[in-house]
Amino acid sequence: MKILAVGQGGREHSLLWKLAQSPRKPLLYAAPGNAGMAQIATCISIGATDIADLVEFAVNEKIDLTLVGPEVPLTLGIVDEFEARGLRIFGARRDAARIEGSKIFAKNLMRKYGIPTAEYEIFDDARQARDYLEKMGAPIVVKADGLAAGKGAIVCQTLEEAHQAISTIMEERVFGDAGDRVVIEECLTGEEASFLAFTDGKTVLPMASSQDHKPIFDNDQGPNTGGMGAYSPAPVVTEAIDREIMERVMIPAVRGMAAEGHPYKGVLYAGLMIKDGKPKTLEFNGRFGDPEAQPLVARMASDLIPVLEAVIDDRLHEVTLEWRPEPAVCVVMASGGYPGNYEKGKAISGLDEAAGVPGVVIFHAGTTLRNGKVVTDGGRVLNVTGLGKDIPEAIANAYEGVKKIYWEGVHYRNDIGKKALDRLTG
């Protein structure tokens, strides 16, 4: 069996790592891949958004199954193009991927189908948006409508910050066309959690709970990033909250998408804020989270291939998922300067030593090979993931791995998993 993974980040490396463990012994390809993925797959120099070239490669190589990692090719219609050529592919079609590609589409869906979320208004005119800010006051959240690599939601504690967010998104056009329109919404408080599920458009099969850490610095300070670390399970998601998320968020979203004529197949990811035992939906993403995928696949005991096939074939009701009881904690190691400007090409040392730490798996995100050496090639560079008998041990294992790795300017948070510890000890 030949499987192609589209993407080059830590999420895709973790998924390939999981696929490589399948008893079906698939032959793996990655487009374009990275230095870590090259150890278990054949990397192809085709970009994740070069859809025509990806289709031709899949046809010529007789690829049996393609798995799409990033959101951009999904919103560009990669699944539609593959299906038109009779190719089997896992992911949301273009119309369904709008649930992530447009914050406005997602918010209107939530409003229509009664999915709990923050109150909001939509603006395509900066002056009107500023007038609304003055009326509502702060704290408040300003979001670019379109895709912005996880950085388009700006939480503003003051009106000055909110006006700057309007300037950044709508006037300076930092996120390009994604900033043509903005959503301005109430600032929800509580504890964030990520909830991912497989769905074939009818059945919703939840994964274990997880929690991401968006801001760049410890204690959730600084600008948002694509994610600086994650852990699973998330103690904030109790059994009762898990049921409520399924009943009030995930199932209504899948049913709503079907009713709107955009049946959703793939992974649906709800970013949630939980307060007083009640979840509200911050956003939907149309794919595996990054870095949530890393601890999730580290804990997944089931073979991933049958799940992917069941989604494609509309028979997800036949499948169950088994999870390892051990928690997993993923720490993102980033380039200095990220999420702003950063340098590439820094030599990385200590990878073998870190991989030798018991319970540690290293997923490459922004790496490449140069003269046989692994060097940095992105903002988020490595995802050091530790398993342990409990959360404290998983945290300790992950950071023991982190401390063995070095490159010039390396940056990481020191508090990944602390919220879980606080809940367990509080």
Per-residue pLDDT of 256-281, as tens digits, reads: 999 999 999 999 999 999 999 999 99
How far apart CA 215 and CA 117 sit, in angstroms, is: 21
Edge-first strand order for the sheet with 360-364 is 211-212, 229-232, 328-334, 380-387, 360-364
Q: So what's the pLDDT on residue 77?
A: 98
Query: Amino acid identity of 402?
Result: V
Sequence-ordered alpha helix ranges (H) in 195-292: 239-245, 251-259
d(CA 351, CA 131): 52
Q: Indicate whether this model's pTM tops 0.85.
A: yes
- Integer Cα distance of 51 and 72 in angstroms: 11
Query: Domain 328-425: which topology?
Result: Glycinamide Ribonucleotide Synthetase; Chain A, domain 4 (3.90.600)
Band of pLDDT at residue 223, cut at 50, 70 and 90: confident
- In the chain, CATH 3.30.1490.20 covers 125-180
Instruction: For 148-160, write each residue's pLDDT tens digit.
Output: 877 888 999 999 9
pLDDT band of residue 29 (cuts 50, 70, 90) is very high
Q: d(Cα 284, Cα 282) in Å, to the nearest integer?
A: 7
As annotated, the residues of the chain forming the CATH 3.30.470.20 domain(s) are: 191-318
71/284 Cα distance (integer angstroms): 11
Q: What burial class does residue 93 get, using C-beta atoms within 10 Å of its C-beta: 0-12 exposed, 13-18 middle, 19+ buried?
A: buried
Q: Above 80 in pLDDT, residue 320?
A: yes
Assign domain 191-318 to its CATH superfamily.
ATP-grasp fold, B domain (3.30.470.20)
Chain-wide mean pLDDT for the chain?
Answer: 96
Q: How many CB atoms lie within 10 A of CB 229?
A: 29
Token duo for residue 397: 């294992």
What number does CATH give the domain 125-180?
Answer: 3.30.1490.20
* CATH class, range 2-93: alpha beta
Domain with CATH 3.90.600.10 in the chain: 328-425
